[in-house]
Amino acid sequence: MSLSIGIVGLPNAGKSTLFNALLSRQIANCAPYPFCTIEPNVGVVEVPDLRLKVLAEIVHTEKIVPAIVEFKDIAGLVAGASKGEGLGNKFLSHIRESAAIVHVLRAFSDEKVIREEEINPRSDFEIIKTELCLADLQTLEKQREPNPSVATKEDRARWELVLKLRRALEEGVEIRKVDLSGEEKLLAKPFFLLTAKPAIFVLNVEENQAGRTGGEMANFWNLSDMGEIIPICAKVEMELSDLSGQERIDYQGELGLRESGLEKLINKGYEVLGLQTFLTAGEKEVRAWTINKGDTAPKAAGVIHTDFEKGFIKAQVCSYENFVLYKGWRGAAEAGKVKLEGKEYQMREGDVVEFKFNI
């Protein structure tokens, strides 16, 4: 399983620079004018996980396979996109294909960047939000009231939901902020609404603000009501991506960065999509696997191979902490820290697992 996250924003907000930093190489075309990205650039990024190296040393393997995130660098949006302005429908379709959205908001100045308006992250977001709300309204307005004489209970519930969602959008409220019951969420899924997608907010800041906290920057730009803000200087992250090992650590220290902004972004992606990681550790490889929070052991086994889920018998489970403390499967088993779990077991973050199955 991989994440699919679309990077969106107004033209020249720094989306492509951020994307290139994520991939640690120049793939997207960066230029200081609108629409230099037309088709979305797609890149697969490794999820930083220090646990993998530790496990590899314990089980004596050199092969490490991290979990991955798929990022899409989507063309810049302009006012009127919902009516076809700019790249219009193409832009919206690329967002629709993403599981979550990263909103990149510009908070830096650059005389080379072609832009008439003053720097205003709040205003930039309102433009994007308005266009996405209008696009969702168009989707819902295509729905028709069911014929009362033949409508089922589900038909009536779906129509009531359509009216509820339309009212919210008309008031400028994104669907992800509407209080929906579990049943309503299921009924809304087939609409594929853009503003229902989980959202992450990246503030692309000046170089001298790279070490500021999200709270500080949110207060400065009056963005506190939007949720967690991740300040990232895309330009600095590009420079960091060109460094290796200790050089990167030293440069981060100079900037006052405890961790890369990109690491925060990737980890936030896991959080908003409700994902977690389990680990496998053997002589052939150490690997991180991505599953949904709440997934059972058979579901997790199915991520490795569908036959593992079908033929699931038991899961041999040890927490990462105990696996490290007791130096592997044997030591953990002798200490009574390895458990055999059945089909009802819900996986936990950082479980180290071996599956037993019949094929």
Q: Which residues are annotated as a binding site for ATP?
A: 12-17
Rounded to whole angstroms, the Cα distance separating 49 from 67 reads 8
- Total residue count of the chain as it appears in this document: 359
Rounded to whole angstroms, the Cα distance separating 71 from 163 reads 33
Q: Dihedral sign, CA of 151, 152, 153, 159?
A: negative
Q: Burial, 176: exposed, middle or buried (Cβ in 10 Å; 0-12, 13-18, 19+)?
A: middle
Phi and psi (nearest 5°) for 308?
A: -65, -35
Rounded to whole angstroms, the Cα distance separating 254 from 136 reads 45
Rounded to whole angstroms, the Cα distance separating 200 from 244 reads 28
Q: Per the structure block, which two tokens stand in for 213?
A: 């906290």
The 10 Å Cβ neighbour count of residue 226 is 18
Q: Dihedral sign, CA of 75, 78, 80, 85?
A: negative
Give all strands of the β-sheet with 286-292 in edge-to-edge order: 64-65, 286-292, 275-281, 351-357, 312-319, 339-341
